[in-house]
Each structure stands twice: as C-alpha cells, then as structure tokens.
C-alpha cells in the first residue's frame, strides 16, 4: 500500500513540475522574470491540490489516481497559454489583462468545492433521492439566461448571466444536475425502454409509448436552440441524454432516432435563425471573400487555421507565436493557440490527457456494479468527450462552430468549476467501483440491502399479480366451457315405459375431473349404433317392465331404480328368475 501511495504521489508531483517548468520558461522568454502575483497564486493552487489529494485518500481511499494528475496538467497548460496571451495583449497595447490570474483564482475555488464534495459525499447513490429536484434545478439554470436584467447576449447567443462585473454560464452547471436526473430516470425505466417494437430495415424501433421521454428532451433542447440561439448547448444536452439512453437499453435505434431528430431541428434552426445560419455558412465556405468579411463570418475560423498551420509539427515555442491574432484566443480558440506554439505534437499530448480521463471514466462505468452509477459515470464521461469533440471539430473544420469551450483549458470560471466537480464525481464513483468485496462500510451495505429488499418486494408483487390474472383467466375459461358442455342428457322414455326410472342428469364439467370431460361429451352425444341398442332394449323392457334401457348402454351414468337400489347384475338375475317361473 505504501509503494502504491508513493507512485500516486509521484504522478501528482510530476504533473506539477511540468506546469511550473512551463510557466517559468514562458515568463523568462517574454518578460525575463516571473511576476510575484503568479508565484503567490501558483503556490496556493499547488497547496490546495495537495490538500484535495489528502482528503481524497482519507475519505475515498479506493478512488482512481490517474484522473487528478491529468486535471492538474490540463489546468496548468491552460493557465500557461492564457498568461501568454495576456502578456501579448499588453505588448500590443490592448490594456492590462488579468485573465490568467482570475483563472488561478477560479481553480482555487474549484479545488475547495471539490474537497468538500469528496469529504461529505461518501456514497454517490444519495443523489438518486433528489432526481426530480435535480431536474428542476437543471432546467432553471438552463433557462435562466432568458430572465430580464441579468440575462446577457454575447456574440448572438443568450447563455450568460451578468452578476456585477462577472459573468456566469449556467449551462455548465445545468449539465451536472440534468445528468443526475437522466441517470435516475433511465435506471428506473430501463426495462420498459429496452422493449423494442417492430423492425424497419433491420432496425428494431422503440414502441410509440416509450418515445415520450426523448420527445420531451428534444423539445427542451430545441427550445434552448430557438430562445438562446445556442447550438452547442442544445447539442450537448441532447447527445448526453441519447448516449445515456443507449447505455441503459442497448437499443441502437435510440441513437438513430436521436440523430435524425436533432438533424431535423438543426436544419430548421439554420434556416430560421441568422446566427446559426452564419456559422453553417462559414463552415461550408470559409475562404469565400464575402463570407470572410461578413459580420459573424469565417474570419475567426480562418485565422485559427492559419495559427495551426504556423505551428507545424513542433510549434513555434512558448512565447514565440502570435495567438492573439485570432479572436477569443484564450477561450473558444485556445486549441488553435496551443497548436501554434506547441505544434501538432503538443496537441496530441493534450488529446492524450483527455483520452486518459475519458477512458478511465469508461472503465469506472464498467466496473461499478450499481446501475445508477453506471449511467451517471457514462453520462458524465460522454458529456466531456462530446464537448472536446465539438470544440476540436469546430476549430479544425470538421463540424460548424458551436460556442463550447475546452474543459480545464479555456478561460472561464463556470466551465472550470463545473468540469472539476465532474471529475470529483467520477472519483467518488471510482471509489465504489474499486472497493474490495469485503471492504464495505455500514452505510453502503444498508443502502444496498434496502434496495435489494425493495426490488425483491417489487418482483414478488408482480408475480402475485400475474398469478392472480392467470387464475382469473383460467376460471373464466372453465366457466365458458361448463356453459357450453353442460347440456341435459337425452330422454328416451316412451309412453310404454311409464315404469322406467328417470335418468340422472350429467354433472357439470366444473364438478368432474378433466379426464372425465371427454367421457361426458361422449355420453351426451351417443352414436347411431348406441341409439339402436337403446331402442331395442327399451322395447324389450316394455314387455318385462324391469329392464332399465339407458343403464346398459351408457357407461358412466348412475342407475337408480325407483323400486330398488340393487346393482345391475342383481336386477338382471331377478328378471331371469321371473321368466323361468
């Protein structure tokens, strides 16, 4: 165990050393000194990382230890590049900029919040109790930029809240709360959603009654797209829900329906709203002179590509490029800024760090035994993966620009805090996934026992209901059969057989065993030969007055004489004796 902790600490120290070396090299190259403000805040940030790691070891001893070094390295690289851009803005006379110092401040706030979360959230499954509350909070945060006075529209998208001199993007926090709700809802309804309907072109489509959830989410996402003109946020939420729906049910048809539904909505939005249409037009025709010089055109996109081309394979080096030529180089286009000074090799290293976090999250989702944990971990990881894909794809021209930011790298406190909380939730889930079977605390054991008991009671209630319905159906079928087959036995008495005993009625099929029903039907419907025999014996009985006609022809019927209860062979013997006399 000690050797393992030393190895984990070594990863954290190595990541911190790389960040410190990068900041030192960049500032010595552009200013020949490291500002004291950066030294102080870097020291506080490093101390908070150590505190967070210690709290993680104490409260979540089995948590994965590869996510935190990657987060530290990505956050440090982002601070280095933002500080580089701040310095160049000052050199070019654009004013004093403190975005990098603010980024370090927000990182400290995020570490404090994550330490509190890891310390007090011992079991992530308590989040399932607040599923509908999470839905309400998520929708309120998502739609809050539409409020007057505090909602702000920037670059055509109304996704910001202005609080004094600061701005907040609530959609970054809304994705966490909606992930809680989606995981809880899909965990409770996964069996109904997994049932497929008819097959069309080899694909099994879902039932119509199960399309309700995805239609509601589609309407909400389209509403965000229409009201806020934000293609990236609506696409991120819709993709998160569809991916979690696929994990919960395993039905590929949900992915196809989700893709087709959002494609239809996006095409309609591009036709109706100029902001979305301009982004699509800039993506399709970036080098067209009219599109390049138009308002909201392709100028930013083309400058970012020129920066990537300038960097080449190894980059120009920290402090030796011109990333500020591209608008929003420290937020939306920080990937292009990194490509210019670090080159393709540096970009691949950054993507590898994201891949480690995403791959580790997928492993956590597969290892955890709780279904809610699987859905929550996979939803959070896919959200990050999709966000990275949309930003990198937009900068490189694979897809249109969406306005999203790279997690941990881009400037902005909202994105940084939300993604740090996301990583902390993955760490909490990984603690449950990596925990040995025998090492189970009392709270987790009681929760699992309670959930198992509830599931057992639910299955027992379903079994009783099914058995009751089956018994009711069987009784109804038996009642219908008895009404159909309970026909009175035919009477063959004539005027000459006035002394003959009446034939007992055939009992109902409900009063006799199943193997006797065929016999009863045969008795009720005698053949022609049996009818002739009965007629002949009735005529003979008319002369001696003692023979019972039906009794000898129809087996299974009880013969009851009016004058004597003697057996049939005794009655026949008495008749023969009288003939002899």
State the virtual CA torsion across 249, 255, 257, 263 in degrees, nearest 10: 150
158 in Cβ contact with 227 (< 8 Å):
yes
Backbone Cα Rg of the chain: 41
Give the N- to C-terminal CA distance of the chain in Å, as an integer: 115
Query: Would you state the pLDDT for residue 506?
Result: 46
State the virtual CA torsion across 264, 266, 269, 270 in degrees, nearest 10: -110
pLDDT band at 481 (very low <50, low <70, confident <90, very high): low
Q: Does the CA dihedral 69-74-78-84 come out positive or negative?
A: positive
pLDDT band at 552 (very low <50, low <70, confident <90, very high): very low
- 513: closest CA among 554, 550, 474, 478? 478
- Give the span between the Cα atoms of 162 and 145, in whole angstroms: 9
> Which tokens go with 345?
């090799």
Give the model confidence (pLDDT) of 558-574 as tens digits. Answer: 444 344 444 444 444 44
pLDDT band at 131 (very low <50, low <70, confident <90, very high): confident
> Which tokens go with 103?
């980024």
pTM for this entry: 0.73
Is residue 550 over pLDDT 90? no
pLDDT band at 479 (very low <50, low <70, confident <90, very high): low
pLDDT band at 347 (very low <50, low <70, confident <90, very high): very high
> Which tokens go with 182?
């989606």
Query: Would you state the pLDDT for residue 485?
Result: 55
pLDDT band at 553 (very low <50, low <70, confident <90, very high): very low
- Give the span between the Cα atoms of 299 and 285, in whole angstroms: 11
Residue with token string 């994965």:
64
What mean pLDDT do residues 203-227 have?
Answer: 70
Q: Cα dist. 21→14, 15, 24, 103, 524 in Å?
A: 11, 10, 5, 18, 103
Is residue 109 over pLDDT 70? yes
Residue with token string 């480690």:
356
Under DSSP, the state recorded for 209 is: G
Highest mean pLDDT among 330-334, 433-437, 491-495, 517-521: 330-334
């Amino acid at each position: 165990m000690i050797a393992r902790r030393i190895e984990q600490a070594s990863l954290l120290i190595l990541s911190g050393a790389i960040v410190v070396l990068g900041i030192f090299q960049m500032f010595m190259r552009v200013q020949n000194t490291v500002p004291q403000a950066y030294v102080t805040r870097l020291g506080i940030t490093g101390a908070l990382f150590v505190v967070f790691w210690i709290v993680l070891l104490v409260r979540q001893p089995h948590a994965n230890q590869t996510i935190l070094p990657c987060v530290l390295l990505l956050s440090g690289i982002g601070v280095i590049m933002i500080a580089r851009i701040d310095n160049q803005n000052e050199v070019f006379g654009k004013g004093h900029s403190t975005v990098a110092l603010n980024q370090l401040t927000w990182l400290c706030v995020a570490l404090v919040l994550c330490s509190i979360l890891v310390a007090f959230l011992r079991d992530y499954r308590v989040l399932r109790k607040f599923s509908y509350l999470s839905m309400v909070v998520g929708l309120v945060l998502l739609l809050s930029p539409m409020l007057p006075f505090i909602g702000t529209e920037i670059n055509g998208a109304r996704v910001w809240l202005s609080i004094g001199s600061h701005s907040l993007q609530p959609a970054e926090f809304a994705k966490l709360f909606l992930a809680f709700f989606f995981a809880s809802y899909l965990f409770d309804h996964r069996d109904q959603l997994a049932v497929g309907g008819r097959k069309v072109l080899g694909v099994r489509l879902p039932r119509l009654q199960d399309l309700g959830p995805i239609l509601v989410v589609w309407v909400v996402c389209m509403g965000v797209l229409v009201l806020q003109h934000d293609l990236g946020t609506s696409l991120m939420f819709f993709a998160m829900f569809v991916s979690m729906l696929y994990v919960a049910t395993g039905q590929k048809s949900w992915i196809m329906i989700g893709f087709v539904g959002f494609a239809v909505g996006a095409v309609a939005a591009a036709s109706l709203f100029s902001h979305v249409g301009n982004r699509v037009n800039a993506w399709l025709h970036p080098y067209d002179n009219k599109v390049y010089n138009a308002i909201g055109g392709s100028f930013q996109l083309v400058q970012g590509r020129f920066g990537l081309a300038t960097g080449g394979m190894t980059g120009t080096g920290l402090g030796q490029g011109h990333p500020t030529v591209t608008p929003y180089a420290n937020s939306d286009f920080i990937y292009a800024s990194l490509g210019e000074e670090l080159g393709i090799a540096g970009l691949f290293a950054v993507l590898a760090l994201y891949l480690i976090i995403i791959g580790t999250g997928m492993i956590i989702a597969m290892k955890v035994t709780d279904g809610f944990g699987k859905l929550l971990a996979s939803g959070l990881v896919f959200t990050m993966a999709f966000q990275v894909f949309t930003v990198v794809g937009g900068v490189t021209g694979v897809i249109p620009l969406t306005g999203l930011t790279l997690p941990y790298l881009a400037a902005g406190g909202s994105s940084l805090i939300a993604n740090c909380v996301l990583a902390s939730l993955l760490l909490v889930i990984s603690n449950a996934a990596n925990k040995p079977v025998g090492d189970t605390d009392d709270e987790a054991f009681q929760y699992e026992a309670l959930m198992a008991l509830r599931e057992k009671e639910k299955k027992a209630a379903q079994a009783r209901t099914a058995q009751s319905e089956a018994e009711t159906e069987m009784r109804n079928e038996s009642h219908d059969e008895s009404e159909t087959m309970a026909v009175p036995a035919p009477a063959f008495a004539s005027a000459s057989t006035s002394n003959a005993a009446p034939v007992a009625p055939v009992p109902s099929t409900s009063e006799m065993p199943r193997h006797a029903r065929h016999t009863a039907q045969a008795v009720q419907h005698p053949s022609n030969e049996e009818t002739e025999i009965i007629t002949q014996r009735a005529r003979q009985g008319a002369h001696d007055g003692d023979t019972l006609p039906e009794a000898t022809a129809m087996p299974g019927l009880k013969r009851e004489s009016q004058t004597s209860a003697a057996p049939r062979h005794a009655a026949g013997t008495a008749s023969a004796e009288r003939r002899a006399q």
